[in-house]
Amino acid sequence: MKKLIFLIPIFLMSCAEYKARMAEETQNFINRKVYFSDDNREFVSVSINGISHELFFDTGAGITLLYRPKFTVDQKKKIREKSVYGFDKKTKIESFNYSADSMQTSMFKVTHKYLYVSPYRRNLCDGSVKTDGILGSFYESDAMLELNYSEGYLQFTERLPEGDWMPLEAKFSDYTGKVYIRLNVNGTEDFFLFDTGNKTMTMLNRKVFSGFEKGEYTISSLTNTIGNTPVKIEMQINNARFNLPGLSFDFPIGVDQTSERSILNKALISKFDWVFDRRNGKVYCRARDAQALTGKSFSIAMKPRLLADVHNDGLIISYRNFDTEYQVGDEIVSVNGKAISQKNICEMKALLNDSSDWSGLHVITAPRR
């Protein structure tokens, strides 16, 4: 099935980009399961130009992006240079559009696949990097898409599987493939971006939801986004009441002072199995363990915590959840009298992160230049 592109987005494309998108041909195969390749249900093995790539399953990305193509890039199939934005457009990385010969799994096959290619900013202490890129756009079918976290698979299906499914109103973007689900939280409704790539908190749109301006905790952190690019966020953390048809439960949420949309996170999403019905504008969910979900409030009690991480070859304060002199984003110059160097940076990172609040360490920092 060819991808439909609305008229307005066409004006934002180059002629070559428009032609490349229209050249895509997609085949979807019913009842053929694609299993996640890891226990955390985050990665999918996808063949691109006949070579297997491990892609991070990110429904909030809206694009398919390769960090490390395993095939030889044909310069003639580059379309144009184009920036890619991540985390609510707070970060930007440079990339180029590319037309791959094919992209396929057992449940779909796309020829002349339009995708993005961008370098991955590998940090010194990363070790082996699992991801070859992001799988964020492939659902273009009128068939239903089942995302089954209980058994760890994706598949297209022609009918709703058996079970106690709760129907939810949804909006589907034809241009990006993103899904927005209407949810009631503390009596207020909004459409939440369904974002399996969000590994921070479920976030509320500050313009829609009130009463969360002051949280039980304030978290300040550097979060790695698209291309392993860090972004600084500060969130007020509270418990909120989610009201679904026939099911209500408490779950921690965050409110970022710059966020202007509501976003589900992987932690909440993975407590349900899901079916997406693009044709009828519906999403269905089924709690994997309703008793555990509703039987208790999720604790958001936090012990004082500081964390450090490596960004751009410097050791940076990356997380704090209590009042302290240390500021997220500042660079760590020395620990216990030892200056940070490329030789000891991973050792110093481990030393800092083994201590919850650094009270037994002598840490000198400086504003990041």
CA atoms within 13 A on the CB side of 215: 25
347-363: average pLDDT:
94
> In whole angstroms, what is the distance from residue 188 CA to residue 182 CA?
10
Range 67-85 burial, b when 16+ CB lie within 10 A, else e: bebeeeeeeeeebeeeebe
Q: How confident is the model at residue 272 (pLDDT cuts 50, 70, 90)?
A: very high
**Within 13 Å of residue 351, how many CA atoms lie on the same side as its CB?**
17
pLDDT tens track for 63-90: 899 988 999 999 999 998 887 776 666 6
Mean pLDDT of 12-38: 81
- Look at strands 108-117 and 65-66 and give their pairing: parallel
pLDDT of 27 over the 80 cut: yes
Residue written as token pair 């509703």: 294
Query: Please, what sign has the CA dihedral across residues 141, 142, 146, 147?
Result: positive
* Whether pLDDT at 305 is above 50: yes
Per-residue model confidence (pLDDT) at position 90: 63
Residue 53 sits at the vertex; the CA angle it makes with 13 and 180, to the nearest 5 degrees, is 50
pLDDT, position 328: 92
Decide which of 133 and 213 is more confident.
133
Phi/psi at 19 (5° precision): -65, -40
**So what's the pLDDT on residue 304?**
86
pLDDT tens-digit map of 116-135: 998 766 666 765 557 899 99
Distance CA 103, CA 107 (A): 11
- 147-151, 174-178, 340-344 — which is least confidently predicted? 174-178
Of 212, 254, 253, 215, the C-alpha closest to 233 is: 254
Greatest mean pLDDT range, 208-222, 311-325, 341-355: 341-355
43 or 199: whose pLDDT is higher?
43
Confidence of residue 1 (pLDDT cuts 50, 70, 90): very low
Adjacent-strand bridge partners of 39: none
Please enumerate, as own/partner, the contacts of 76-80 that have beta carbons within 8 Å and a separation of 24 or more.
Answer: 79/14, 79/16, 79/17, 79/20, 79/114, 80/14, 80/16, 80/17
Distance CA 165, CA 147 (A): 13
351: Cβ–Cβ under 8 A, 6 or more apart, which residues?
335, 361
Q: Please state, as a whole number, how many other Cβ atoms lie within 10 Å of the Cβ of residue 239.
A: 15
Sorted by where each starts, the structural domains of the chain and their CATH numbers stand as 7-145 (2.40.70.10), 171-275+288-294 (2.40.70.10), 306-366 (no CATH)
Could you give the CA distance from residue 97 to residue 253 in angstroms, rounded to a whole number?
35
Q: CB 157: neighbour CB atoms within 10 A?
A: 16
pLDDT at position 44 over 60:
yes
Residue 346 to residue 42: CA distance in whole angstroms: 26
Q: Which is nearest to 196 in space by CA: 137, 134, 266, 135?
A: 266
- pLDDT recorded at residue 239: 87
